[in-house]
Structure 1
Amino acid sequence: MLTPYRLSLSLAICGVLASIPAFAETPQQILDGFTTQAKTEAPDFQGFDAERGKLFFNSTHGNDWSCATCHTSNPAASGKHAKTDKVIDPLAPAVNAERFTDLKKVNKWFKRNCGDVLDRECTSLEKGDVLTYLMAIQ
């Protein structure tokens, strides 16, 4: 049986636990992971480039799609899926603080979207360039 003391203690503990934020990565931490992978894939890796990322983002690839097909050429704005018309929240982390904060989601969406756009998975260099570009958008 809960005494008033135990009930108060239980409620206090629940309050403290509820106030602890869930662990989330930052876009920079995700980018750091792509850096490690890119160095493994290409020993001559020299870093990511926002301009290269912007070009990749806006260029059409294997399926005549680009990232901008659904995400628009302004990643600070909402987009719309080309087939389903589903609204897509902005990609730029400066506008959408939830973007690139969950490695599992980042990997899931890069895999799915690169498959749609390129008919293959993106390389770490491509992912890092795109993320560098998106992080530069204010």
Structure 2
Amino acid sequence: MKRTLHTAILAALAAPLLAAAAPAAIDARLADYAAAAKAADPAFAGFSAERGRALHERSFAGGKPETPACTSCHGKDARAAGRTPAGKAVEAMALSASPARYADPAKVEKWFRRNCNEVLGRECTAQEKGDWLSYMRSQ
């Protein structure tokens, strides 16, 4: 009981710090993806939350049949929790709902690699990652 209360207090105290750090974490990811996108395409002119939304909602034929779109697990509302085909809960993707979600660059890359391969049937490009993160930031 005492440990649970201690954990709850620490979580409550840490939440504002995580929320404050979240935009900086996404800025760092976006800067990395912008550099990679520019290297891949010198005409790259920036990320688009609208393209990110379209990517999130679009169905693809190249990935797994049970996950043809990001919305298959994450739902159309990025601020709401989702559910995998196996029934596992998925935390909301929007920065406003899950501020600490994008803080660890290794985890961000791990999930992009896994989810892009499952949905698109390939790795996402730097521009796709940046567009998608821009959409999550806008939610």
Q: Which runs of 5+ in 1 are unaligned?
A: 1-20
SS of structure 2 residue aligned to 1:98: coil
| 2:80 pairs with 1:81 | no
SS of structure 1 residue aligned to 2:72: helix
Q: 1:28 maps to what in 2?
A: 27
Mapping 1:98-113, distance limit 5 Å? 98-113=100-115
Structure 1 position 109, deviation (Å)? 0.3
Contact 1:60/1:66 (<8 A) preserved: yes
Note the aligned Cα RMSD (angstroms). Answer: 1.9
Q: 1:56 maps to what in 2?
A: 55
Following TM superposition, where does structure 1 have runs of at least 4 consecutive aligned residues deviating by more than 6 angstroms? none
Q: 2:124 maps to what in 1?
A: 122
Structure 1 position 132, deviation (Å)? 0.3
Provide the rounded CA distance (Å) in 2 between the counterparts of 1:71 and 1:114: 13
After superposition, the C-alpha distances for 1:82-111 in whole angstroms (9 at most, x for unaligned) are 2x2100001111111111111000000000
Provide the rounded CA distance (Å) in 1 between the counterparts of 2:120 and 2:97: 26
Q: 1:4 maps to what in 2?
A: none
Provide the rounded CA distance (Å) in 2 between the counterparts of 1:121 and 1:60: 15
Amino acid at match of 1:78: A
Structure 1 position 127, deviation (Å)? 0.5
Q: TM-score, normalised by structure 1?
A: 0.79
Q: TM-score, normalised by structure 2?
A: 0.78
SS of structure 1 residue aligned to 2:43: coil
Provide the rounded CA distance (Å) in 1 between the counterparts of 2:43 and 2:96: 31
Tell me which structure has the larger Cα radius of gyration: 1
Percentage identity across paired residues of the two chains: 36
Q: Which runs of 5+ in 2 are unaligned?
A: 1-16
Total equivalences in the alignment: 116
